[in-house]
Every structure is written in structure tokens, then in C-alpha cells.
Amino acid sequence: MTELSEDDRAAVNELRGAVMRLSRRLRHQRVDETLSPTEMSVLGTLARCGSATPGELARKEHVQPPSMTRIVAMLEAKGLVRREPHPDDRRQVVVSRTEQAAAMLAESRSKRNAWLASLAEGLTADELAVMRQAAPVLEKLAHL
């Protein structure tokens, strides 16, 4: 591990603030205002990782299993997920997103990308180059 310098620690502090502000603004670019950020996150996890048991979803989303059970029930009532018997363990179910959820996520992603692209149009060529270099680093930080 690399020991961070004082300048690196200051940059980390600036990054934290900027990421939080940008994230907050991105969350306001939602297509479906009736879904909570947690419900949207669960749908995103299903889109990225595929079908999962409620327990697996709870671990991935860092929530307690009873909370995930409630979230899945709410998403199912809205027609965004379906529960099916687990192929190997009849005591469990597998949760997967519906076509309605896939369409809503695609529309949401498109809206957020368009909003962010409109902001990026105000950047200089050098700033755009830095953004292109920073994107994979931020992705890595998000998954460490």
C-alpha cells in the first residue's frame, strides 16, 4: 500500500465532496420519482449482476435481509421484479428484473447521461481529457 501525502489527502477530501455533490444532482435526474434510491440501486444491481436471491441482494446492497425482503416485495408489487423458485434450493427464491424495469433503467440511464453530457459540454478539451482518464479510476474506487 502507498502512504498518502498531505496533498493526496487534500485531493481525497476534494474528491469526496465533489462526488457527493455530483451524485446528489444525478439522483435528481430520475425517471420514476416513486422509487427510492435503494429500490433503484437494487434494480441496477440486478441489471449488472443478473438474477439473485434476496440474501445475495442484501449482501450486495449492504442492507439487512428483512429489509431486502420488503424492498423486493415493493418492487414486485410495482411490476419491476419477479420471484421464481430457486433451481437448486426449493426453500429459496431467485429475484430477477422485468422488461418494465429494464426499460425504465434504460430511460433513466439515458436521461442521466444526457444531463451529464450537457454539463461536460462546458468543459475545456484538457478537462475532458482528464475526465476520460479519471473515469476508470473512479470506477475502480467504487468497487474496492
pLDDT digits (tens, 9 = 90+) for 86-105: 888 888 899 999 999 999 99
Q: How much is the pTM?
A: 0.78
Q: Hey, how many other C-beta atoms are within 10 angstroms of the C-beta on 123?
A: 12
Q: What is the pLDDT of residue 42?
A: 96
Q: Which distant-in-sequence residues (6+ apart) come within 8 Å of 33 by Cβ?
A: none
Q: Please give the angle made by the CA atoms of 36, 79 and 61, to the nearest 5 degrees.
A: 40
- Cβ atoms of 71 and 38 within 8 Å: the answer is yes
- Classified by CATH at the fold level, domain 6-143 comes out as Arc Repressor Mutant, subunit A (1.10.10)
Q: What is the pLDDT of residue 28?
A: 84
Q: Hey, how many other C-beta atoms are within 10 angstroms of the C-beta on 108?
A: 18
User: pLDDT tens digits, residue range 6-50?
Assistant: 999 999 999 999 999 999 998 888 888 889 889 999 999 999 999
